[in-house]
Structure 1
Amino acid sequence: MRSTENVGPLAVPQHFLLSKAARSLSLARVARLSDEEAHDAFRLIRWTETKGEAVCPRCACAATYVYRARKLWKCKACSHQFSVTSGTIFASRKMPIRDILLAIAIFANGAKGHSALQLSRDLDCQYKTAFVLAHKIREAITADCDERTLAGDVEVDGAYFGGYVKPANEKANRVDRRKAEHQTGKRKVVVVMRERGGETLPFVFRSEAAAVSTIGAKVAAGSTLYADEAASWDRLHDRFLTKRINHQEAYSTAEACTNGAESFFSRIRRSEIGIHHHIAGPYLEAYSQEMAWREDHRRVSNGEQYLAMTEAALRHPVSRVWKGYWQRAAI
């Protein structure tokens, strides 16, 4: 998708991300919202079907009493009291709604992600608060990853993260860090399935070979797979028409390429190097799924991304992982 605004006789079509259409969100406008305006925005996004009229999260009844002073509702059917964030991933919040909206807007504007440390500085809150808030947003926007399937032309590839072993100072003491006995055991592989012209699905495994069964479950029968020459993908030929490319000879040919998968890995590598500096361990899948969401929405304006993130968060139930995260042992 390309914009043609201000295109003269000798002008070159402008890339979408540089066009005015890609900029439909103003952080200044969000920051200037009053508490009442922020509350109304949350209410309209959460209950779009009823045009902002509250619906009980417990019994789905639309008949409610309104507590004006405390911004609460009471269900006429089950007598349940609830707020605009009750039953959502922001339930039991302490942060003002305006700050939550601003956090989502800042998070949406990060082309390669947004670090928790920078978010804590932007919001003037503790690092712990920003860390959990960012992960709640990630969980909400990627909640349907386990339910999605792909079809058609699908590219498959893997990239390893974490488990870095620093080489010894003197050359004589160095070992081959590629061998399993010289690794830490923390190294994991992100395997991505990317549908051409469609969606991106990443999952984390110990090895590429362990991903074959998941690929078989997530890719529809009759699809065509594209992969490199790694021996791990040999078993895919039993289930799918699989076209391979040898990257030692070429990155792309008329028969096969995995450039779409490589584009995803380029985004997550740049996110690791330039934003987060370290992506590994139990959080690797969350970060990889966030980058897949950003890759799939790269041709959507930042305002639409902001609304999509807010709606996903307000429709997502209370997080079993991140609610009370710092009050128990970390995952």
Structure 2
Amino acid sequence: MNKPYQEISLLEFQTKYQTEEDCEKRLFDLRWPQGFACPSCGHQEYYHVTKRKLYQCKKCRHQTSLTAGTVMHNTRTSLLLWFWAIYLTSTDKRGFSALSLSKKLGLSYWKAWTMLHKIRHAMKNRDSTYQLTGIVEIDDSFFGSSTKGSSKRGRGTSKTAVIVEASTHGDAVGFAKMTVVDKVDSASIDHLVKASVRVNQPVKTDGLPVYTIVSKSGHNHIQEIVKGKKAHEVLKWTHILISNAKSFIMGTFHRFGKKHLQAYLDEFCYRFNRRKWELQLFDRLVTACVNSQAIYFAELTQ
């Protein structure tokens, strides 16, 4: 039985992907695993317009490229550089800043920055297809720096609010999600729970009143007041995730604002959720990049 994702080491990656043609072959297989199918009419016969690197349907004459509609849509960067960026991003637990990637691959800062954010976009899209099951821990945290002169801490701070969700099964943690919100209130909690938690799951929170909305969403709400206990004893895994995510972001990116915080959290969660499949991480991520919808530079900077 063939594994759905290929396992590949650094040496194997270097051997397998040496040329643009090597990358093109892999993208073709990922886009059309059963053979070419015209995105317009579904016809399977095509002409290869070699000079323009296009595939033209013999029936309706629609033309498409390997990267059309993917995160690499309209790219002028070689596929070999894309593959290296995806490999480095997926396999380094610390992640890559745009400055580090630009130096590693000899790219301009803004090209590296754009590629990384497009890759994170694919990570976000892939994880958005999953819902949490088991006993789901939910907690809130605050990332970044407070407004200058502010002395408030915790839920009174001016830092960016993040809702953290983790599916747990016995003593083990499964899948994690982290979402930036404008504020920690009932509306935000209700929206996230309905979107990310499968119906009829036990959901565990602390005693903050806004979490009472969970029971109204059809879940078994386990609410435990932290008073007299340490918070990490009540919500063990969300606290571990929060600590690890902050270390990841501050250790790699050093400074960040609310605008791109969600993208960094998406990267952290994507890698965490696949921690058991380290050798498959490149193949999983390049597949996600091919199957993710296109996103443009203007959308990333707005």
What is the TM-score normalised by the length of structure 2? 0.83
In the alignment, does 2:73 pair up with 1:96? no
Offset of 1:84 from its aligned partner? 1.3
Offset of 1:194 from its aligned partner? 1.2
Deviations 1:89-109 (A, max 9, x none): 211111111111011001112
| Worse-matched range after superposition: 218-227 or 305-314 | 218-227
Q: How does 1:18-33 map to 2 (within 5 A)?
A: 24-26=9-11, 29=14, 33=18
Offset of 1:274 from its aligned partner? 0.6
Deviations 1:173-224 (A, max 9, x none): xx6344999x7x6x32110221114322222112222422124413344321
Alignment partners' CA distance in 1, 2:56 and 2:154: 62
Alignment partners' CA distance in 2, 1:283 and 1:133: 14
Alignment partners' CA distance in 1, 2:263 and 2:209: 27
Give unmatched runs, 5+ long, in structure 2: 1-6
In the alignment, does 2:238 pair up with 1:261? yes
Offset of 1:162 from its aligned partner? 3.0
| Worse-matched range after superposition: 157-166 or 263-272 | 157-166
CA 1:193 to 1:324, structure 2 compared with 1: closer, same or farther past 3 Å?
closer
Say which of 5, 12, 26 aligns to 1:41: 26
Q: How does 1:317-328 map to 2 (within 5 A)?
A: 317-319=293-295, 323-325=296-298
CA contact (8 A) 2:127 2:270 kept: no
Offset of 1:251 from its aligned partner? 4.7
Instruction: Give the equivalent residue in structure 2 for 1:111.
Output: 93
Deviations 1:247-275 (A, max 9, x none): 7523565xxx3222123212210122110
CA contact (8 A) 1:194 1:201 kept: yes
Alignment partners' CA distance in 1, 2:228 and 2:269: 27
CA 1:216 to 1:94, structure 2 compared with 1: closer, same or farther past 3 Å?
closer
Q: Which amino acid aligns with 1:274?
A: G
Alignment partners' CA distance in 2, 1:195 and 1:23: 28
Q: Which amino acid aligns with 1:246?
A: V
Q: How does 1:126-165 map to 2 (within 5 A)?
A: 126-165=108-147
Say which of 287, 291, 296 aligns to 1:315: 291
In the alignment, does 2:294 pair up with 1:330? no
Instruction: Give the equivalent residue in structure 2 for 1:190.
Output: 162
CA 1:145 to 1:248, structure 2 compared with 1: closer, same or farther past 3 Å?
farther
CA contact (8 A) 2:190 2:214 kept: no
In the alignment, does 2:197 pair up with 1:225? no
Larger helix share, 1 or 2: 2
Q: Which amino acid aligns with 1:193?
A: E
Instruction: Give the equivalent residue in structure 1 for 2:259.
Output: 282
CA 1:252 to 1:188, structure 2 compared with 1: closer, same or farther past 3 Å?
closer
Say which of 191, 199, 207 aligns to 2:183: 207
Give unmatched runs, 5+ long, in structure 1: 1-21, 168-174
Offset of 1:64 from its aligned partner? 0.8
CA contact (8 A) 2:143 2:162 kept: yes
Q: How many residues align?
A: 288
3-state secondary structure, aligned to 1:203: strand
Q: Which amino acid aligns with 1:330?
A: T
CA 1:78 to 1:236, structure 2 compared with 1: closer, same or farther past 3 Å?
same
What is the TM-score normalised by the length of structure 1? 0.77
Offset of 1:72 from its aligned partner? 2.3
| Worse-matched range after superposition: 235-244 or 84-93 | 235-244
Q: Which amino acid aligns with 1:79?
A: R
CA 1:102 to 1:227, structure 2 compared with 1: closer, same or farther past 3 Å?
same
CA 1:329 to 1:298, structure 2 compared with 1: closer, same or farther past 3 Å?
closer
- Using the aligned pairs only, state the percent identity: 22
In the alignment, does 2:221 pair up with 1:241? yes
3-state secondary structure, aligned to 2:239: helix
